[in-house]
Structure 1
C-alpha cells in the first residue's frame, strides 16, 4: 500500500484504549483539504452576511439572510448540502438571532418572533427551535445579553420590566428561567458585565447602588450571589474589566482609586483579591487583551516609559514582566489580538520599522520576533481575526497589492502564506468572523460575485493509523487505531455472525483525499469487497464501494490490496483468491469499478491462494502489484505491471525472488512502502502459519536486506501479518506487525529506519488467539477523538452493489479434486525451466 496523506472532517471521538502504544511524541501537521468552499446562502450578488458563529453537535450555527426570509438561524456542517436554515422565527420580519451559546448540547440565543427580543433555544431542528420564555410578558424587548455557560446552566442579563437589567439563569424551561438576584433593588440597572465561568463559579462585575461597579460572584442562588471585594471603597467603584481565568485564578483590570487602572487577581475571596503591583506609578497600567498561553498570562499594558508593550504574568509581582520593548523607547508597539497556538503567542504589533505586522513570542525577549513582513516596505498588513485551528494560525491580512485575504502561518516566514485569493483583483475578499468548529474554519468573505457569503475550509491533524481485521474464528470486526493506540473507530463490514475473517487494506478509492478501508471476506464469505470511509465507518460515496470480485458462489475467501496502478488519482483495488482458488489476480478501478487488469500470478492450476500488495517499486509514480503464494506455496515474490491488461511481469533487482528458502511452504504475507526514503517502495515479508515471526524488508533499488529480525518470540509458529505506514510522520514508512493464529491480537510498531520500538497495543481482547489481518495509513483527525462508532452492515450472498454491479466474465475455476496438485518446487521448475539453477537466479535475494 502507498503511504499518503488523507484529509477528513469528522466528529470527534472519545479515546478508547486497549494497551496503549507507547509511541514517542509525534509531529502534528494541520493541512488543508483544498481551497475554501463557498456556501452561497443568498443567491446572486446579494449578501447573506453570516455572523455570530457557534458550534454545537458537529454543526456551526449562525445568523444569515438568504434574501427570502431575512436574518434567521442557520446551520452548516461545512458542505453545501449540509447548510440549511433551521427555522423562520419571524415570518413577518427578521428573527435576527444573536448571543448564540452552546450549553451542553442546547443552543440558546436571543431572537425576535415579532413580539420583541426574548430567550430562545434550539436542538438544531425546526420543531426543537422554540421560545423559552417571554421575560417581560409584553411585546417589548427583555434586553437580553452576555450569555455564559456555567456547567450546563445558562447565565445572562435581562430586564423583565420590573427589576431593571439584572442577572438571570435558565435550564431551558420556562419555569427554570429565573432572576438570580435583584442586585440593585428596584427598576435601576445593576450594570452586570464581564461574565466568566471559573471552575463552576460565575464571576462578573456589577453595581449594587452602594459600592459602585465591583467584582461579584454567584453559585446560582440569591444568597450565593455576593460582592467579592469592594476594591475602591465607596460609591465610585473599581470598574473591573477584561475578566480572564488562568489556572483557577481570575485576572482583570481594576482601579482602587489610588494606583489607577492596574493588574489584579482574585481567587474568589476578599482576602485573595489583590493588586499584583502598581506597574505604572502615577499613571494607568491599563492591562488588556489577556490571553492564557499554556499557563502564562500574556497581555498588553502601558508600563510608563515604554508605552503599550507585550507583558506576561504568573499572578505574582515578581513574575509579572514586560517581555520586550518591541518599539524601542516612548513609541509603543500596541500588541493586539494575542492568540495562543500550541504554547506560542501570536499577535499584531508595530516595531516602528515594519508597521503593524504579525509577531510571535515564547515569553522571552529573544523569542519575541517578527514572523513576516507581509506588507513589505511602507504600509502595514494589519493582521486581524487571529484564530487557532488545530495548531495552525489563520488570520486576515493585507499584502502589497492591497488585497485583504485569508492567511495562515506555522510561525515561520516561509510558512506564512496566503491561503487563497478569493477575490481576484486589488480589492480583496476581506475575511471576517473567523471561527473554528471541529477542525473546519468558517468565515465570511466577499468574492466580488456572490456578495458576502459563508466559506468553509476543512482542516485536521495528520496522524498515522493502524487498521486491523479479525481472522477466522471470531466475529469479523474491523478496528481503527491512531498511532498511540487509541481506538477511534470500529465496525462489522459484514455481520457479527460472520466468522470467516476480514482482510483489510487502506487507500483513497474515490479520490476525495480521505483514507478509505477496503475489506474482503475470508473463507465462507464469498468474494465480497466493500469500501468504508474512515471518518464515518460507512460505505464511501462516489467510486466503487461494494462488489463481488469473482463469482458470488466462490467461497475460498479473498485477499486485497490498494494502489493507484494507472495514475488517475484514484486508488484501485487488487484482489486474489485464498487457498482453494487459482492464482487469479484482478485489478478494479477505484474510479468506476471497471476491470483494469487480470492475470494469473503463478501457474493457473496452483491452488495455494495468493497474497497481494501494491506500491511503487520502480519509481514511475504508479503502483505495481506484488504477489506471494499462500500456504503450501514457496516464498516466491513477484512484481507485475498493474496497468497492463494482462499483468506483465516487471524486470528489476527485486521483482522476482524467493524471500526465504525455496522449501519454506508456509506462504507469505507482504506489503510495500518506502522504508529508506529513496523514493521506491520496499517490500516487507513474513511467513504464514507454520513459520516463525521472521520479518524481512527488501530494498527495491538493489534487493538488499534493509531489515531482518524476529517480531515476536522466535518459538512462535503462527506466522506474522505485516504492513507499512508512516506512523511517525517523518517521511519514512514504519513497520507494523500482528501475530497469526495462536498469538494474541498483539500489534507492534517498529521505526522504519532503525527498528526501534514504537510501542505496542492489543486490538481487542488480549485472550483472543485467532490472529489479525493488518494495514496502515496516514490520515487527518481532529485533535480530540470521541466515542468509537460501531456499525454492522448486512452481509448478502447475492451479487449487488450500492454503486456498481460488476459482472463476472471469467469465473474462478476451482480445481477438481481428482487433479493431482503439484508441489511448489514442481511449479518453480516449470516457471524457470530455462534457468540453470534457481540459486543463481535469486542469489543475494534472501535464500537461506
Structure 2
C-alpha cells in the first residue's frame, strides 16, 4: 500500500496514537525522540508515526527507536517500541451500526448464448406392427451338430450276504440286495436299497437207484512174454546179516494219508526159511514197525450254535503268527471280527463294532502291517470307514472318519496296497468322489493323495489295475476328460500324473481290465 493513500487515514488516528504512546512511555518529547535518519518512512514528524510493509521490516527496538509508532501494512495494524520491546497497539473501536441497504443496481446486459446441449436419451420403442404375410418356405437346412452327451446315469449296485437258516430260508442261503448308488460313493447303503430277495438252498435229494451192470467184455489177447530179468544179488555172507523189508499197510488199518510197514530180522533161516539167501522170509522176521497216517477233519468251533451258519471268512481271512483272523456271524451280534489260535484251539470274537446288524469287517480291504490289521468296517453311526486291530494288545479302533458323519467312504473299494509303512487305497470323502488316499501307519496321519477327477466326480483309482514298481504306483484312473487311462504316483515325492492317454480324447482305454 502506498504512503500517499494511507496518510489521510493515519492523520485521523493521530490523537489515538499519541495517547497510546504517552501511556506506554510516560513522555513523548524526551531527549530520545526519533528522527528521520534511520531510513524508515516517517509519516508525520510531530507524532513520530512510520510506515513499514511487514513485521520483518521493523528496526531493532532500542534507545534510538523508543516511542516510535509504526504502521505495518501486511497486518493493517500498529506497533510501538517500548522498554519491553515492540508492542501491538489495538486501535479498533467499537463496531458501528450497520448502514442502510443500498439501492439495487441496474440489470446487466444479457450474456452470450451458451453451447448447444447434448442429445437427450432415446424414447421408448413403439409398439410392434402387425405381422406380415407368411413367406414361402425355404429349403430344408443341413442337420445341426450332435448335442453333448447327457450326464451318466446312476450305477446299479448289488450286495450279497449269507442268510442263516430261518424264516427266510429254511436251509439257509444268500440274501441279495439291489439299488442305485444315489450318492455315487461306490457303496450300496441301507437307504439306497430298492429291492431284496433270497436265494435259498434246497433240501438234499434222495440218492438215485443204482444202474444195471454192463455186459462183460471179451477177453483181450495175451501179451508177448517179457525179457528175462537180471540175475538176483548174491545171498548174505553171514547168517547174522540184518535184513529189512518195507511194504504198504493193510487197508483195514485205515491209513488214508499213506503209511508203511517195516520188517527186520537176521538172514538165519528161522521158521523154515533159507539161511543166507538175502531174502527176509516170514519166519526170519524179528521186529515189525508200522507207520500209519490218516486224514482227520473236525469242527474247530460252532460259532453260530444250532442250525445256523456263521460263514467264517466270507468277508475276510488273514493269518497273524499262529492265529487266524476272519469275519463270522454268531447269530446274535451280526457279522464281526473273530479269531482262532491254532496253538491252543481257542476261538473268540475279537471286537463287536456294530451290535446285531454286524459291521462286516474286511468287506473291501484287509491288510496286515506289522502286528496290526487294517480293514474297513461299519459301526452303524459313521458308515463304512478304515479301522484297525492291534493283535499284540487286542485293541481295536477307527483309524479315520474320511467321510464325516453317517456316510461311508468305503476305503479299498477299488484298490489297496502297502508301500513301506503307508497304505494307499481308494476312498470317498463325500465331496470329491472316489479318489486316491493314504494312511501313514507310523504316525497315524491320513490324507487325500490326489483329486484326479477334480470336483465331486469320481476317478475310480485302481478299478482295473494296481501295481507297485520301486517307489511308484501304477493304476487305472479317470480324470473326467480323457477317460480311464494309465496313471502313476511317485510315493517318494508325492507327484501324480497321467502316464499315457492310450485312447486319445474322451475315450477310455481301461488299462488292466483283462490283465495286470
TM-score normalized with structure 2 length: 0.39
Larger radius of gyration: 2
TM-score normalized with structure 1 length: 0.24
- Name the structure where helix makes up a greater proportion of residues: 2
* Greater RCO structure (CA 8 Å; 6+ sep): 1
- Name the structure where strand makes up a greater proportion of residues: 1
